[in-house]
Structure 1
Amino acid sequence: MKTSSAIYQKLEAFIKKYYTNELIKGILLFTGFGLLYFLFTLFVEYFLWLKPLGRTFLFWLFVGVEVFLLVRLILFPLFKLFKLQKGIDYTQASKIIGNHFTEVSDKLTNFLQLSSENNSESSELVLASIEQKANSLQPIPFGNAINFKANKKYLPLALVPILLFAVFYISGNSNVISQSLNRVVHFNSAFLPPAPFKFVVLNSNLQAEQNKDFVIKMESVGNVVPENVMIHIGDESYFMESSQPGKFEFKVEKPAENIQFSFEGNSVVSEEYELKVITVPSIANFEMVLNFPSYLKKKSETIQGTGNAIVPEGTTVTWKMNTKSTQEVEWKRDNEVFKFNKVENDFKLSKNISQNTEYQILTSNDKVKNYEKLDYQLSVIKDQFPTINVGPAPDSLKLDKNYILGRLGDDYGLSKLQIVYYERNKPQSAKRGNIPVKAGVFDQFVFNFPSNLPVEEGVSYEYYFEVFDNDAPHGFKSTKSSTFSDRVATTDEIQDQELQQQNQNINSLSKSLKNQTKQISEMDKLQNTGKEKDNLEFKDQQKINDFIKRQKQQDEMMKQFSEKMNQNLDKFKDDKKDKTADDLQKRLDNAQKDLEKNQKLLDELKNLNDKLNSEELFDKMEKFKQISKNQSRNLEQLVELTKRFYVSKKAEQVAEKLNKLSEQQEQLSNKEKENIKEKQDEINKSFDKIQEDLKDLKEENKTLKKPLDIPSDASKEKDVDSDLNKASEELSKKNTSGAKPKQKSAAKKMKSMAQEMQSEMEGGEQEQLEEDVA
């Protein structure tokens, strides 16, 4: 009976192996058929683009087929394998085994029949027969009736759809599967079939700056190129501009906030896009405050709305600005960058400007860096050097030729004017003197060297003028004039010049006296002509006009001579009472008054001559002739008086020179070290000049109608000259002691000559002068 049980166990193993084989086959078939149907379903949707109803049917049909295949091919064998469902019995199994093992087909069938009919009452013969058949079936392997390798034929069916999936993904056409699957899965959603073209935005990013135009660029890609494309912005639509076939543009003007937009063309609508608008920095108010250098004394200025300006050198510029949405403002020049100081929305920066500056103002916030780049320029006016133009004073100013007229100028103001003077060829010994000058931008001055400068008489100087501006930061820039030269005359030279001028005045007066006499003679001829005719002819009238004209010229010259004599006379006046000078002054004043009367009378003559009133004309001429004769006599006396005054003053000058020279000689004789031949020779030359002056004085004294009594001692002059020469000879021998007596003797004699001349002039001149004038 043990053998019979083994047979049944082998049958159970066979049935289990049978359904395992069925499960393997079902899995391969399900994989093949299921995936092929899955691809079929996707291809139907991909090509047909079914509507939601069609996709719904397709989806549920797919689900039904796949469920059916799953149940039929996998679940049924699985359930029977685990006895969850009734499968084949021993008889069916024996048939399958018998088909594989033909030699045991009947035996296994008989065994099963005998076993089913067996019971406790069965004869031993039957049992023995069952045991015998079981023993004969025991060696046969029932499991070999099932061959797993037979399922290889189903393997290609499973691999084909898998390979198809791989081809789609490797070739980059996975969208065919993914898009179709998406539409089938979402069968209730509406999907539009693909258009013949699509819209592609060409902008690298859809981000615009606030209040700045933004151009949206788009291109249509596909088999069809739309002629017109509209852009929908909110509730409004606009046609886009075609830049070239298939490419379109639209300018969004100064967007202030984010914008939603889409495209439409040939009934094709794009997805919706968003243009993001970012807040940018902006300047609400901009000004520059110009603080000028203090030395210019100018009030500060404010410039609104621009960073360009023309400023003086050294100006401090302060930039002030009020901003919106701005976190940072920078000032940039070349490689230099300076940040503005920030207080809330206000920015401020100050800089001192000393040269031409091109710069930028840069604004930034957390979204935009250097959004605004404002280019400006500051042009600097350099403080120029002052100007000075110096030359001789023009004749129109009626100044002496030694006067110098200077004109000064500066762009911002003058500070001081100096005269720099030094002995000729000794610039290292230069000294300075100040000349008052206004603090304005222009001034002028008149100067006569040496004015009140401390100088030495008889020394030649060179000098120039130096003007300074008010540019303190640059050390008060200066400009020098051209160099002039002049010699400081000694007192004696000045007196000589004054006497020379007086002599020229005398000669001019003498000439005027001769012209006056000639005019009186001409007047006599005109009167005689008039007496011979009843009426004046044009020729006679012209002669009278010529006479009047010459007389006016003569009077004008006389007036100028009188003014010069007055000026010269003032130079000779001193503190002591000088009656000669007073008398001469009175006569000059009277001469001035006579000239004024002459002028009035000449005007009357001119008027009468024009009216051809001969009778009254000649009466006036007679009156004028008498006045002219009196004037001539007065002029003659004035000339003589002036000559006497000149001679007396020159005599006083000679006496003064003798006094000074005697003192110099006395002082030289008392100085051992300085008593040398060169200095003695200078004194000798000075005495020779005094002798020449004495000679000239004597000649001029002789021209007087009554010469003055001027002492003249030729022997004393000769003695002085001899002493001076001997002193010089001794000094040439280095014999100071031998020269000293001669020097003192000469000094004493010169002093004596001076005293005699002064005494004679003071005692006798006034008496002779009064007698002569009377």
Structure 2
Amino acid sequence: MLFYGFILLNLALTSWLVVPPLMAYLKLGKTLSHDDAAEIIGKHFNDINDKLLNTLQLKKQSAGDESHRGLIEASIDQKIENLKPVRFPSAINIKENNKYLKWVLGPVAVILVIGLAAPSILTESTKKIIRHNEYFAPVAPFKFVLLNNDLSVVQGEDLKLDLKLTGNLLPADVYVETANNTFKLDKESITKFHYQFSNLQQNTTFRLVGNDFKSQPYEIKVNLRPSLLHFDVELRYPAYLHKKNETLNNAGDLTIPAGTVIKWLFHTQNANSLGFAINGKNHKLRPSSPDLFEHTERVVGASIYKLNPQNTVVAHSDSAAYRITTIADEPPAITVNEKPDSVSNQAFYFDGKIQDDHGFSSLAFHYRIGEPGSKTGRNVVKPVKAELNQSISDFFYFWNLKELDIKPGDRVTYFFEVADNDDVNGHKKARTTERTLNVPDENQLREELNAGTTGVKQKMQSAIKLAAQLERDSKKIDQMLLNKNSLSFDEKKQVEDLLNKRKELDDLVKQIQADNKKNLYNRQENEEQSKELLEKQKEIENLLNNVLDPKTKELLQKLQQLMQQGQKTRPEMSYQK
């Protein structure tokens, strides 16, 4: 009622004091004439009095009397000069208003006493008039004092409301009243209560009620929780792996080759930033589009990354951590078998195998030629052909020392080296054991050639002795087997021993021929051959070819045939003891 009474009073005063002057200014309704206005002005300004009215009258007179117009206008100008200037405060006569002061002193004194003794009477009443649409609870003999510093939570969290009562006549129970429900607070003591709001999802308004007295409304502000809905990863593998790029959905933990470039696409809700931490580096991501965040990282080692969606009011929400396991590029491996030439001392054959998990960038043969004890020398690198794009590849390499311009007494060190194609950490290499080849000088070479010749002679002597024994045994067996169609066990054993000696002699002859050929070849490579030496080599070849006389060879062949026939056609024959 007070509010609406205040409104009606102001409307009445406006219609009485504001509307008429406004209508007059707008020339609406009944208006004053110039003479009426001049008469009113003359009453309020003593200096003007009736001068303004007389001037207006002279103006009208000059319009009707053409003969005296000049004289009249001169009189008008004189009066106008007398009217300037006019002070506006002269229209107000304060002394005439003193008689109204006695009516003002009473109300002013009452207001001053109330303002000093109980100012709330003035302020509270005024507040209720101005804020008429708000609820003002009846004044209770106690007060509800909330101990919570802040009534705001993150969406989905709980809020414990702590309450303290002060004053007289405290209620035994206190209730919290929301829009749809009323709950009783848990009582800790006479003055302290608490209540747990659980799983808050939206702003909640409540009042506290005790002994039918209600508190002012309070509001719990629920801040939207930023959340990570799901995320995808785009994997761009190192080019040297020749592996097709791929996209994984909802992939947290990853196992990838080292050097893979990962692009994450994070889909969020209620987030305006995303904390991304990896290997001690923190990044604050901004959305590339609504609710979408992107980040790209090249990962070369095992890593852990953490995600923390955020917004303007929630800096720390539910975070998540994931692990990245990287598959390191393994170093290559190489194995090599070395075989010298069967004839020449200046030729070597190598066959080997290389293997790596993702292929190779190079395979080379390294050697260095220098004097013994010297750290300097001529280094040479020769590429070796192999299937470098395979994970396992066999290779072969022929090394001809004649092409190296080696001097007698030089030292040659050599090894094979293979490099993988790791473009992430750099090409890793593996090499074989470094080997050394000491090139003999002239004296050493002559000694080696002579030693080879001596070895051939010694083996020839052994072959001659074995051939002589073989001939004697052959004749003995030939006499023993005359006019016999079968062999006893002992006889067969003697024939087998004889044939084994024949095989032993053949092997020894072949070895001597190979050694002799090698010795001859090496002499031809390293020194000029005399005619006499060449004739001796031919004699050795002829001697080896005829180490057994034709008759002995024929007898051994017949014995071998007899052994074979006995095994095939007479398996049932019993041997004589």
TM-score, normalization: structure 1? 0.42
1:773 to 545, 549, 553: 553
DSSP-derived class of the 1:634 partner: helix
Give the Cα–Cα distance (whole angstroms) in 2 for the partners of residues 658 and 332 of structure 1. 75
* Distance apart, 1:626 and its partner CA: 1.9
Secondary structure of 2:140's aligned partner: coil
Contact 2:353/2:395 (CA < 8 Å) preserved in 1? Answer: no
Q: 1:510 to 1:630 in 2, by over 3 A?
A: farther
Alignment-derived partner of residue 315 in structure 1: 260
**Are residues 1:756 and 2:562 paired?**
no
Whether 1:461 and 2:407 are equivalent positions in the alignment is: no
Aligned residues of 1:199 and 1:221 also touching (Cα < 8 A):
yes
Alignment partners' CA distance in 1, 2:378 and 2:190: 90
Cα offset for 1:630? 0.7
In angstroms, what is the RMSD of aligned CA positions? Answer: 5.5
Residues 494/288 of structure 1: CA separation in 2 closer, same or farther (3 Å cut): farther
* 1:420 alignment partner in structure 2: 366
Structure 1 partner of 2:176: 231
* Percent identity for Structure 1 against Structure 2: 20
Could you tell me which residue of structure 2 aligns to residue 254 of structure 1? 199
Is residue 285 of structure 1 aligned with residue 230 of structure 2? yes
Q: Is the 8 A contact 1:423 1:460 kept in 2?
A: yes
Q: Provide closer, same or farther for how the CA distance between residues 408 and 502 of structure 1 changes in structure 2, counting only shifts above 3 A.
A: farther
The one of 410, 425, 434 equivalent to 1:483 is 434
Deviation per CA, 1:703-734: give whole Å up to 9, x if none.
Answer: xxxxxxxxxxxxxxxxxxxxxxxxxxxxxxxx
Distance 1:661 1:385 in 2: 47
Match of 2:398, SS? coil
SS of the residue corresponding to residue 235 of structure 2 reads: strand
CA contact (8 A) 1:388 1:406 kept: no
Partners of 1:419 and 1:493 lie apart in 2 by: 28
Which residue of structure 1 aligns with residue 140 of structure 2?
195
SS state at 1:468 partner: strand
| CA distance in 1 between partners of 2:353 and 2:305 (Å) | 40
**Deviation (angstroms), 1:416:** 4.6
Contact residue 655 and residue 754 of structure 1 kept, 8 A: no
In 1, the alpha carbon distance for the partners of 2:309 and 2:350 equals 61
Larger radius of gyration: 1
SS in structure 2 at match of 1:627: helix
Query: Within the alignment, does 1:220 sit opposite 2:165 as a pair?
Result: yes
Deviation at 1:261, TM superposition (A): 1.3
Q: Does 1:472 align with 2:418?
A: no
Deviation track 1:279-321 (CA, whole Å, cap 9, x = no partner) reads: 4443332223332222234444555556554544322111113
Q: Deviations over 1:672-719 (max 9, x none)?
A: xxxxxxxxxxxxxxxxxxxxxxxxxxxxxxxxxxxxxxxxxxxxxxxx
Instruction: Quickly say closer, same or farther: Cα 1:386–1:265, change in 2 above 3 A.
Output: same
Give the aligned residue type for 2:379. Answer: S
Deviation at 1:463, TM superposition (A): 2.8
Unmatched 5+ stretches in structure 1 = 1-51, 53-156, 185-189, 394-401, 515-621, 664-749
The question of whether the paired residues in 2 share the 8 Å contact of 1:211 and 1:255 is answered with yes
Structure-to-structure mapping, 1:627-706, within 5 angstroms: 627-640=492-505, 663=528
Task: Name the CA distance, whole Å, in 2 between partners of 1:220 and 1:191.
Answer: 19
Q: How does 1:16-31 map to 2 (within 5 A)?
A: none
Q: 1:434 — aligned with what? A: 384
Distance change in 2, residues 1:358/1:640 (3 Å)? closer
- Asked if 2 retains the 8 angstrom alpha-carbon contact of 1:358 and 1:375, the reply is no
Contact 1:656 1:754 in 2 (8 A): no
- Whole-Å separation in 2 of the counterparts to 1:431 and 1:222: 100
Counterpart Cα distance in 1 of 2:399 and 2:152 = 83
In structure 2, the CA distance between the partners of 1:268 and 1:193, relative to structure 1 (3 Å rule), is closer
Deviates more, 1:217-226 or 1:380-389: 380-389
Question: In 2 relative to 1, CA 245–359 (structure 1 residues): closer, same or farther, beyond 3 Å?
Answer: farther
Are the aligned partners of 2:143 and 2:167 in contact in 1 as well (CA < 8 Å)? yes
Question: Residues 492 and 657 of structure 1 are in contact (CA less than 8 Å); yes or no, is this contact kept in structure 2?
Answer: no
The one-letter code matched in structure 1 to 2:381 is: K
Distance in 2 (CA, whole Å) between partners of 1:453 and 1:761 is 31
Distance 1:175 1:474, change over 3 A: same
Match 2:240 to one of 273, 295, 300 = 295
Cα distance per residue 1:567-616 (max 9 Å; x no partner)? xxxxxxxxxxxxxxxxxxxxxxxxxxxxxxxxxxxxxxxxxxxxxxxxxx
CA, structure 1 residues 494+332, in 2 after alignment: closer, same or farther (shift >3 Å)?
farther
CA distance in 1, matches of 2:460, 2:188: 104
> In 1, distance between residues paired with 2:329 and 2:352?
19
Counterparts of residues 583-622 of structure 1 (less than 5 Å): none
Q: Distance in 1 between matches of 2:267 and 2:331?
A: 42
User: Is the contact made by 1:284 and 1:324 (CA closer than 8 Å) also made in structure 2?
Assistant: yes
| Distance of aligned partners of 1:419 and 1:507 in 2 relative to their CA distance in 1, 3 Å threshold | farther
1-structure distance, mates of 2:173, 2:152: 25
Report the 3-state secondary structure (helix = DSSP H, G, I; strand = E; otherwise coil) of the residue aligned with 1:343: coil
**Which of 283, 288, 297 is the matching residue for 1:351?**
297
The alignment partner of 2:202 has SS state of coil
Give the 3-state SS of the residue equivalent to 1:386 in structure 2. coil
Q: Is the 8 A contact 2:260 2:299 kept in 1?
A: yes
Cα deviation for residue 233 of structure 1 reads 1.8
Between the aligned partners of 2:460 and 2:216, the Cα distance in structure 1 is 118
Q: Residue 386 of structure 1: CA displacement?
A: 0.9
Tell me, what secondary structure is at the counterpart of 1:471?
coil
C-alpha spacing 1:649/1:272, structure 2 compared with 1 (3 Å): closer
- Which amino acid in structure 1 is aligned with residue 119 of structure 2? S
CA drift at 1:180: 8.6
List aligned pairs for 1:726-741, cutoff 5 A.
none
Give how far 1:638 is off.
4.1
SS of residue in 1 equivalent to 2:313: coil
* 8 A contact 1:360–1:373 mirrored in 2: no
Please state whether the residue corresponding to 2:216 is helix, strand or coil: coil
SS at match of 1:322: strand
SS in 1 for 2:145: strand
- In structure 2, what is the Cα distance between the partners aligned to 1:322 and 1:483? 58
1:186-216 Cα deviation digits (max 9, x unpaired): xxxx998643422123344444443443443
Judge which range, 500-509 or 245-254, deviates more.
500-509
1:477 aligned partner, one-letter code: K
Report the CA distance between 1:420 and its aligned residue: 2.6
Map of 1:594 onto structure 2: none
The Cα of 1:470 is off from its aligned counterpart by 2.4
Hey, what's the Cα distance between the residues in 2 that align with 1:206 and 1:469? 64
Separation (CA, whole Å) in 2 of partners of 1:345 and 1:276: 23
Which residue identity is paired with 1:429?
Answer: N
How big is each residue's C-alpha offset from its partner over 1:210-257, in whole Å with a ceiling of 9 and x where there is no partner? 344344343323245555432122221223345676343333333333
> Hey, what does 2:285 align to over in structure 1?
339
Residue-by-residue CA offset, 1:57-87 (whole Å, 9 max, x unaligned): xxxxxxxxxxxxxxxxxxxxxxxxxxxxxxx
Q: Is the 8 A contact 1:383 1:411 kept in 2?
A: no
8 Å Cα contact 1:240/1:248 also seen in 2: yes
Comparing both structures, which one devotes a greater share of its residues to helix? 1
* Cα displacement (A) at 1:467: 3.2
